[in-house]
Amino acid sequence: MPIKTIAGLASAAIIFSAAASSAKEFTASVAAFSADFQEGWQEVKTQDPSIVLRMEKGKSFVDFVKLEQTLSERHLKLRVREQIESLKSKGTPVAGDVRQVSLHGGANAYYTSYLSGKTDNFIAFLACNGGSFSISAAGLSEEEFRAIVRTIRKPGEKIDPLKPHPKKVKAVKKKAPGGR
């Protein structure tokens, strides 16, 4: 595994464990899910009835939109691929292909990221608690975005902070003098 990937995973784990300890839970207006956001994020009421939860922090935002249909995992991935093709056709640089992040309850969200101006943007699709949702976000790092998405769960469900995995200690045999 490349060092860059390992460093990214380690920093995401640190952000996620910090998120679990000092984050505040916000619940979507349809009460289908809750998500945790760090201090400084505020829920904003919007005139758009399709947005079930809008969070802002400075110039950063995260919008959750309830989709009309409940989509299978295959269709969630397909929706992300459609977004990627649409962005590419407009000349927008897209960072990679479809990526996956696990939600708290074990389901997956599928997303991609792209650069608009100097701002990182994310588009994600997920299914949870009997509904499908899209997420549009801007002004966050990928680690911050993934940390928020990982906390999506049933309203009121608690998330235990990440605990370090126990390390297996391997016994080392002493070599006899003389190399044996």
Structural domain includes residue 84: yes
Structural domain includes residue 112: yes
Name the residue with higher pLDDT: 13 or 101. Answer: 101
Over residues 58-98, the pLDDT tens digits come to 999 999 999 999 999 999 999 999 999 999 999 999 988 89
Structural domain includes residue 100: yes
C-alpha distances out from residue 110 to 57, 101, 151, Å? 23, 7, 15
Structural domain includes residue 135: yes
Report which residue type is found at 129.
N
Predicted TM-score of the model (pTM): 0.74
Structural domain includes residue 176: no
Structural domain includes residue 19: no
Structural domain includes residue 41: yes
Q: Which domain holds residue 41?
A: 25-150
Structural domain includes residue 155: no
The number of domains in the chain is 1
For residue 116, the cross-strand partners are 119
